[in-house]
Amino acid sequence: MTVDKIQFGSQLKELRNKKKFTVRQAALQANLSNSFWSQVENGKRNIPKPATLEKMATGLRVPKDQIFNMAGISTEVSKNSDEPEYIDLKQQIDDKKKIMTFEGRIIPDEDLEYMERLLRGGKKD
């Protein structure tokens, strides 16, 4: 998904207003200058780099993935940390919007149920 700087700025401003923050408050919380924040919102600057987007997420008190998505950046690419990422398999299996695959092949529902039983020690729900 391609997002231009005008579109990103508009979405950023809308989110800030929804959170009821002034430019000054959001910029202060993000440790960024008021003028920089305002220029981004008004499309006068390019979409910031991931490190700055993280600061903006902090300033708006939203998950960084939300800001990355607004910027058209895949959150898979944005993760540059050496910290492990925790994924709850139960949530992944239950999420009907996701199709689970293994080595490029779709895992049938029966196999997912079997895997879930194995992870529970052979017990059903």
Domain ranges of the chain: 5-78, 89-119
pLDDT grade for 109, boundaries at 50, 70 and 90: confident
CATH fold of the domain at 5-78: 434 Repressor (Amino-terminal Domain) (1.10.260)
More confident residue, 93 or 51: 51
Q: What is the DSSP string of 57-82?
A: HHHHTS-HHHHHHHTT--HHHH---S
Asked if residue 115 has pLDDT above 60, the reply is yes
Over residues 97-124, the mean pLDDT reads 81
Asked if residue 55 has pLDDT above 90, the reply is yes
Which token pair is 102? 């293994």
| pLDDT at residue 78, as a whole number | 45
Please enumerate, as own/partner, the contacts of 75-82 that have beta carbons within 8 Å and a separation of 24 or more. 78/50, 78/53, 80/50
| pLDDT at residue 8, as a whole number | 93
| pLDDT at residue 86, as a whole number | 66
Asked if residue 102 has pLDDT above 60, the reply is yes
Residues of the chain with pLDDT > 70, as a percent, come to 86
Which backbone phi and psi does 101 adopt, to 5 degrees? Answer: -130, 160
Helix 34-41 × helix 5-18 angle, to 10°: 120
Lowest mean pLDDT among 38-47, 52-61, 75-84: 75-84
Spatial distance between the Cα atoms of 15 and 48, rounded to a whole number of angstroms:
16
